[in-house]
Structure 1
Amino acid sequence: MNNFASELGNQGMYKEAEQMYRLTLELMEKVLGRKHPDTLNSMNNLAVVIVNQGKYEEAEQICRHTLELKEKVLGREHPDTLSSMSKLAVVFRNQGKYEEAEQVRRQALELKENVLGREHPD
């Protein structure tokens, strides 16, 4: 279902993708639980398609919540957590919140350097 929603989004069918992501997220929360990594990734996917529709405030709320949960479940330095930080920075940038975007990007960069090393391609 996530893959199908992704394909819808890739074709610019954002409303349909959003509906599919919301259904997927609802089912994942029931089956896997709210804090399962796959559920958290579905939350991120939903936020991305919401950003594509220009619903930045809602996307920011979802990204903040997802990041908070990923930090608790996976840890601050986990690659999925860092990915969520990057998504939040994109939302900030799209809202014109450039200082917040820069701050989040700097934090993500610092954490990646600590985890992967300064010379790692990522």
Structure 2
Amino acid sequence: DHPHVATYLINLALLLRDTNRLSDAEPLYRRALAIYESSYGPDHPHVATCLNSLALLLRDTNRLSDAEPLYRRALAIYESSYGPDHPHVATCLNNLASLLRDTNHLSEAEPLSRRALAISEASYGPDHPHVATCLNNLALLLRATNRLSEAEPMSRRAVSILVRFQFETGHEHTNLRACTESYETLLGELDLDAAAMESRLQGSAEPFCPK
């Protein structure tokens, strides 16, 4: 029951989750959570990190009602430990907002999503991949409320940030394809003709393309 064991359990659970062995990962997360709570108390940031990871796994297995209270508890711990404007708070806000979007609690989700974006921009600058993730999630929320014209520049900016990341690092970001596909779908929902769609897609990448 040593905290180092909990850290190892979390790392192993993450590997299992990444290889889609979700049923094997869950008991490891739960055991790690119990160790952290016993070692540090129920309101320690390590507990919040474990709660967030377990909530992600529960969401992967479509147990959204089980995941929501874990996200909320993790968020409360992070805010109490680090203050309201910490990057960990933004991550938790983004995850909770995404879950609320999926459960059709759209009016509650939007301010959380916007707050996550503001914290990420202040913490990392306007062109960081974490900002792209927030932008894409907010665009998905706006699409869900049929505010397509508001969603378009956010979705386009998310793609631009991740294209820039690829050109600067030589590596494709793991979220680039999903953001690009989301933007393509949005452009189709805007009823643009093929030429207009192609122009906007090229425009999202053009500022960062090699000359």
Q: Normalising to structure 2: TM-score of the pair?
A: 0.53
In the TM superposition, what is the alpha-carbon distance from 1:78 to its structure 2 partner? 0.9
In the TM superposition, what is the alpha-carbon distance from 1:120 to its structure 2 partner? 4.7
Distance in 1 of aligned mates of 2:84 and 2:127: 18
**1:83 equivalent in alignment to 2:91:** yes
Q: Give SS of 2:98's match.
A: helix
Distance in 1 of aligned mates of 2:25 and 2:123: 34
Residue deviations 1:42-93 (CA, integer Å, cap 9, x gap)? 1100000000010101111110111112111111111111111111012112
Root-mean-square deviation (Å): 1.7
After superposition, residues 42-57 of structure 1 pair within 5 angstroms as 42-57=50-65
May I ask how many residue pairs the two structures share in their alignment? 121
Distance in 2 of aligned mates of 1:31 and 1:25: 10
Q: Normalising to structure 1: TM-score of the pair?
A: 0.88
After superposition, residues 1-122 of structure 1 pair within 5 angstroms as 1-117=9-125, 119-121=126-128, 122=131
In the TM superposition, what is the alpha-carbon distance from 1:116 to its structure 2 partner? 4.6
Identify the residue that residue 174 of structure 2 maps to in structure 1: none
Larger gyration radius, structure 1 or structure 2: 2
Distance in 1 of aligned mates of 2:19 and 2:121: 35
Task: Write the letter of the residue equivalent to 2:62.
Answer: G
Distance in 1 of aligned mates of 2:110 and 2:122: 18
In the TM superposition, what is the alpha-carbon distance from 1:115 to its structure 2 partner? 4.4
Higher relative contact order (CA 8 A, sep 6+): 1
Q: Which runs of 5+ in 2 are unaligned?
A: 1-8, 132-211
Distance in 2 of aligned mates of 1:39 and 1:74: 14
